[in-house]
Amino acid sequence: MSSSSRFTGAALVTVAACAFSAKAVIIKLAYRHGVDPVTLLALRMLISAPFFLALGLWSARGEHVMPLTRPDWRAVVLLGMMGYYLASLFDFIGLQYITAALERLVLFLYPTMVLLLAAVFFKRKVTGRDILALALSYGGIALVVAHDFSLSGSNVALGAFWVFLSALFYAGYLLGSGRYVERLGSMRFACYAALVSCVGVVGHFFVTNDGALLFNQPTAVYWLSLTMALVSTVIPIVLTAEGIRRIGASHAAMIGAVGPVATIFLGYWFLDEQITAIQLAGAALVLAGVLAITLQKKKG
């Protein structure tokens, strides 16, 4: 593959990582208008659903596309509910209590959780390098949480817990979806799983809320929901898939490390969140730990 194609792939993944990282900032901006997490998530998924459907149908075209079997559909439903419904719900709840920067750092721990889950359920050997990477990552998170806790109190711990739970469920989704992604294609599987989550989210909304809430939000909430659906949901999926095709998943994962850094600065520009030396030091530790695991996977 030519150098220009690799450069284009890297650029696509970089833009996708920054766009996806803007999600936390958009959510925090929407909360300023009084919308609750479930309503905001329902708006996001309702707007995203037609795009997921179109992308899913587009990725399923062609004579050699494998049809989904009954076990495939069960996996799509289970993993979609885990990785896009519950993980998103917990993330939206957590963002009520913590900064966008801390949210992105905690979510970025998911590769370490994949490693730990693989060790527990699939007996994957944990090496000394893994232990060092885990110590760096969780040490960095502890540093940032302790710093934010000293400023904002117990709500920080509560918010970090919900986002940590979100990252854990997303890690479970990634671990469980591996063989289905290989058979069905990454974009096709992701779109089908996202459509399942749309049903779960909207069902949750109507069970717990008055349906009129969807139509009684401030205009700004609808614009922010549209922005989140397009800029931080649909577009990153497309750009990441194309970037991975050009440079491979391992390189894409490493470039994705720009995400937490982007969120720190986006939070500063749009939310007036402080950037402190402790926060940057914690972010550096998290990035170092996650990249150590990512690089090891690449070599392995």
CB of 177 closer than 8 Å to CB of 193: yes
Question: Dihedral, CA atoms, 12, 14, 17, 20, nearest 10 degrees?
Answer: -60
Tokens of 101: 């920067």
Where are the extended beta strands (E) located within the chain? none
Mean pLDDT, the chain, whole residue set: 89
Mean pLDDT of 38-51: 96
pLDDT value of residue 254? 72
- Checking if the pLDDT of 300 tops 50, the result is no
Q: Is residue 37 a contact partner of residue 89, using CB atoms and an 8 Å limit?
A: yes
pLDDT confidence bin for 161, thresholds 50/70/90: very high
Most confident of 79-83, 225-229, 290-294: 225-229
Question: Which tokens belong to 155?
Answer: 């709500």
Query: Taking 60 as the threshold, does the pLDDT of residue 136 lie above it?
Result: yes
Side chain identity, residue 3: S
* Residue 231 DSSP one-character state: I
- Given this model, what pLDDT does residue 239 score? 86
The CA distance from 226 to 220, in Å, is 10
At 289, the amino acid letter reads G
Q: How confident is the model at residue 207 (pLDDT cuts 50, 70, 90)?
A: very high
CA-based nearest residue to 34, from 187, 172, 254, 213: 213
**Local structure of residue 300 (DSSP, 8 states):** -
Quote the pLDDT of residue 18: 92
> pTM score, two decimals?
0.90
* 3-class secondary-structure state, position 66: coil
CA distance 105 to 160: 10
| pLDDT at residue 81, rounded to an integer | 95
* Contact in structure between 253 and 111 (CB atoms under 8 Å): yes
